[in-house]
Amino acid sequence: MDHYVIIPRSDGNLAEIKYFEPRIVRILKGQSITWINRDTKVHELTSGDGDSSLPTEFFQTGSMLPGESTTVKIDSNQGSIPYFCSIHPLERGLIAIFQEDKGQIDTNGVELKLSNGNNSSLFAADNQKILTRLQRQVDPAIVEYLSDPHAALIQNRLMTIVFWDISNFSDLSEKLKEHPELIAVFLNEYFAMAIPVIHEYHGIVDKFIGDGILAYFGFKETKEDSTSGAVNAVLAALKLRNAFKTLGKNWIEICKMVTNYDLNIDIKCGINTGFVLVGLLGSGVRD
């Protein structure tokens, strides 16, 4: 079985440890790992401890430009091999090696070490991280709306609803079912590309449904400007379609490299404008 690890796109935050996808890759001795650089920066991976930035002799990938990949055969009797990027030492991962005649090894200890390192401050900020994650689940416009004392009032508004969907995503998921981390990275890149476009045109992201995105436009429109939501929805759809061309092409190439299967994917959407009821609906437990 081939193993693939993604070097994800950087969020620009240099203060926290970042992990590769998957964070821990489990292999049999003698198998190979292919790292795929999805970042916009050059990376150079080496075995060793990221805390000390001291490399070990097990492997070095050499420089990987954006979009490039490197394959390394792991033929070691070590139970686990930590590694990091020599250019960006806070980027780290772990290879857990199984010996065929000895069964599985317990990686809990090495996973804890990878999580801990000398970064006790990360655990001190656990509560803040949980809060940040919760905030990421709700569009900022909704948070702002909930602070409005009139939010509970049910209103009839003209709005435009858009649903985006990726064609052949089910086939892509089936072809990559042995590598679910690749599907997760693809979706994260897709959502990270789509959300700024939707916000640029004053749209609000309602929810993600698998590979689907549900958004609405015209939420803050006045009666005098009741058509701008529909116009913004169409403009957002056109821009997202163009932006997806490059992303889709890159992932078609990755799918072909991993599965030797030539699959076509594209983005499509449905747009509808009409009157909807807006306000806080629900029970006393949940709106």
In the predicted structure, residue 114 carries a pLDDT above the cut 80? no
Q: Average pLDDT, stretch 110-124?
A: 46
Q: What is the pLDDT of residues 211-242, one digit of tens each?
A: 999 999 988 776 666 688 999 999 999 999 99
Q: Which two tokens stand for residue 197?
A: 């476009």
Contacts of range 9-16, beta carbons closer than 8 Å, 24 or more positions apart = 9/38, 9/39, 9/40, 9/189, 9/192, 10/39, 10/40, 10/41, 10/88, 14/90, 16/90, 16/122
Most confident region among 20-24, 95-99, 100-104, 164-168 by mean pLDDT: 164-168
In the predicted structure, residue 51 carries a pLDDT above the cut 50? yes
CA distances from 258 to 8, 43, 175, 251, 252 (A): 17, 21, 9, 10, 10
In the predicted structure, residue 170 carries a pLDDT above the cut 60? yes
- Which secondary-structure segment (H or E) carries 229? helix 228-259
* Residue-level pLDDT at 160: 94
Residue-range domains of the chain with CATH? 3-125 (2.60.40.420), 138-278 (3.30.70.1230)
Q: What is the pLDDT of residues 1-50, one digit of tens each?
A: 779 999 988 876 666 788 898 889 899 988 999 999 999 899 999 999 88
* Residue-level pLDDT at 181: 85
- 102 pLDDT band, cuts 50/70/90, is very low
CA distances from 276 to 133, 203, 214 (A): 29, 15, 15
* Residue-level pLDDT at 215: 95
Distance (Å, whole) CA 218 – CA 70? 47
Q: What is the pLDDT of residues 176-200, one digit of tens each?
A: 888 888 898 999 899 999 999 999 9
Q: What is the pLDDT of residues 136-147, one digit of tens each?
A: 666 666 666 666
Mean pLDDT of all residues belonging to the chain:
82
* Residue-level pLDDT at 278: 79
* Residue-level pLDDT at 175: 87
In the predicted structure, residue 121 carries a pLDDT above the cut 60? no
Where residue 152 falls (left for φ over 0; alpha for ψ -120 to 50; beta otherwise) is alpha
Task: State if pTM tops 0.75.
Answer: no
Which position has the higher pLDDT, 145 or 75? 75
Q: Average pLDDT, stretch 63-70?
A: 92
